[in-house]
Structure 1
Amino acid sequence: MFRSLWQYRNFIISSVRGDLKGRFVRSRLGGLWFILHPLAQAVIFSIVLSDVLKARLPDTDSPAAYPIYLLSGMAAWTLFSEILTRSMSVFIEQAPVMKKIAFPRLCLPIIVGGTALINHLLLLVALFIIFIFLGHIPGRALVLLPIGVVLIAAIGFGLGVILGVMNVFIRDVAQVMTIVLQLWYWLTPIVYPANVLPEKYSLLIKLNPITPLVGLYQDALLFNRWPDPASLVVPALLGVVSMTLAMVFFRRASPELIDVL
């Protein structure tokens, strides 16, 4: 399987390039929409909630602390949700291509993941520019950000491939996950810091594997502090397990995908 993917590496690269161009054909702003959508959402939340929550952010006195906190968390969540949601639907969306052209089917979620990573890098560049205008320069903890990117991408890709295969056979999967992701978003400390929640919700936050990864982004971009290595053990294990299960699950279901589509 991996040898086939390597042989089709040029196909994957050209498809990522074509996906980026094709999503904004005839658009005046083009790829800027990848950046403007999450930024607009962050601005809305900042205007509505900054006065309420800025005093409750620990370890910082910066007047721009809450917008930076929010943008950092949203950057992490946007990467996870884009890889997961697009991987869930990619086999159905690309069914005509799969029926006409012979290529490793696993290329499709990899193309989705590659596109999402490029979008994420563009978003991070935009965030750094905004942080400079806000008078905030991330510190040395920024070097740990690639760890968060890798773990988020691994979890999103693994879960996305598993759910994407299931969605081919049971189309309700994508509809259910739309609701689950909305709930998952609000159970992740992105809009609010974890310390403002009542005690009865603290266990849900701790069990959320995305919480420490969002926290890694917020620590690196706002607080300039190193995360607790123990907090990354569960996300790392989930990333490895989900990727492994995705490969096994996809390999067993792959011969039937075309017939069902």
Structure 2
Amino acid sequence: MLRISSIFKSLWTYRFFIFSSIKNDFKSRFSRSKFGGVWIVLHPLAMVLIYALILSQVMTAKMPGIVSDYAYPIYILSGIVCWNLFSEILGRSLNIFIENSDLIKKISFPKMTLPAIMVGTALVNFIILVVVMYIVFFILGHSPINNIIWLPVLVIITLSLAMGIGLFFGIINIFIRDVGQLINIILQFWFWLTPIVYTINIVPEKYKWIIMLNPLSSLTIGYHDVLVYDKSPDFTTLSYPIILAFVMLALSALIFKKANEEMADVL
């Protein structure tokens, strides 16, 4: 298995390449856009608005513990920030090596810098969205700041889980391209198996185990605890996604080591 210390050493050596690539990624995405980074938050905010308009009257009454006329939009937005971070990293991981095949073939550099660039870009997007989310919260009279210290912990778990799963299937996707298409379809179902637009308490008791089998459910509930209910997350339930994240990262490192030499030939 790849030594963790050697990976971090390579990332540190190529840190300027990573930072400049993140910067160039944003420049290329918004070079001809008048609104620039505003588009990063418009899509998730549009999703929140749509679900709030359709389901707000039904769901608000089923959300105990939130004293606000805007309880449901607050609830959805708190879950969306988790989902956006997870799905962006997982989705981009599936094609991270394929999209950079020319670079891999022509230049000798640590391939693990590519996921680092991807994570850096996703984190910038996430930070922008969280800042806008808190502005919206304050406008709505909601100020969850007492337990915000736990938010970076939840973010690290989310990143680890998304990278572990994404890189594992991303490497397989190099050799079997159908994998990427399949995971993208699974992501559409995955969203609805995660308590983002509904609360876990409305799920019938006999089906709750299916929802909780999804590791992102525990994570989303953790985000809701911090951002909606302003309390610390339950690390008993978070132990499942934490353990799964470590397992998937280890499997990703193992499969990367085995496939590293063959990547350039297949790409």
Fold equivalence (TM over 0.5): yes
CA distance in structure 1 between the partners assigned to 2:120 and 2:13 by the alignment: 17
SS in 2 for 1:136: coil
Q: CA RMSD in A?
A: 1.1
Note the residue ranges of structure 1 that are not aligned, 5 or more in a row. none
Corresponding residue for 1:65? 71
Corresponding residue for 2:186? 180
TM-score relative to the length of structure 2: 0.95
Deviation at 1:98, TM superposition (A): 1.2
Deviation at 1:226, TM superposition (A): 2.0
Corresponding residue for 1:153? 159
Residue 208, structure 1, aligned to residue 214, structure 2 = yes
Residue 247, structure 1, aligned to residue 253, structure 2 = yes
The 5-angstrom pairing of residues 229-248 of structure 1 reads 229-248=235-254
Q: Which moved more, 1:166-175 or 1:224-233?
A: 224-233
Residue 39 (structure 1) aligned to one of 27, 45, 50? 45
CA distance in structure 2 between the partners assigned to 1:142 and 1:62 by the alignment: 20
8 Å contact from structure 2 (residues 223, 233) kept in 1: no
TM-score relative to the length of structure 1: 0.97
Residue 92 (structure 2) aligned to one of 81, 86, 107? 86
What is the one-letter code of the residue matched to 1:89? N
Aligned residues: 261
CA distance in structure 2 between the partners assigned to 1:229 and 1:154 by the alignment: 16
What is the one-letter code of the residue matched to 1:244? A
Note the residue ranges of structure 2 that are not aligned, 5 or more in a row. 1-5
Deviation string 1:15-68 (CA, Å, 9 cap, x unpaired) is 111112211220111111111111111111111111110000121231111000
Corresponding residue for 2:266? 260
Q: Which moved more, 1:238-247 or 1:117-126?
A: 238-247
- Following TM superposition, the consecutive aligned residue runs of length 4 or more in structure 1 with deviations greater than 4 angstroms are none
CA distance in structure 2 between the partners assigned to 1:29 and 1:201 by the alignment: 44
What is the one-letter code of the residue matched to 1:69? Y
Corresponding residue for 1:8? 14
CA distance in structure 2 between the partners assigned to 1:215 and 1:247 by the alignment: 29
Corresponding residue for 1:107? 113
What is the one-letter code of the residue matched to 1:246? S
8 Å contact from structure 2 (residues 94, 173) kept in 1: yes
SS in 2 for 1:124: helix
CA distance in structure 2 between the partners assigned to 1:229 and 1:5 by the alignment: 30
Deviation string 1:191-220 (CA, Å, 9 cap, x unpaired) is 000111223321111111111111111111
8 Å contact from structure 2 (residues 218, 238) kept in 1: yes
Corresponding residue for 1:22? 28
Residue 191 (structure 1) aligned to one of 194, 197, 200? 197
Residue 48, structure 1, aligned to residue 54, structure 2 = yes
Q: Which moved more, 1:117-126 or 1:9-18?
A: 9-18
What is the one-letter code of the residue matched to 1:136? H
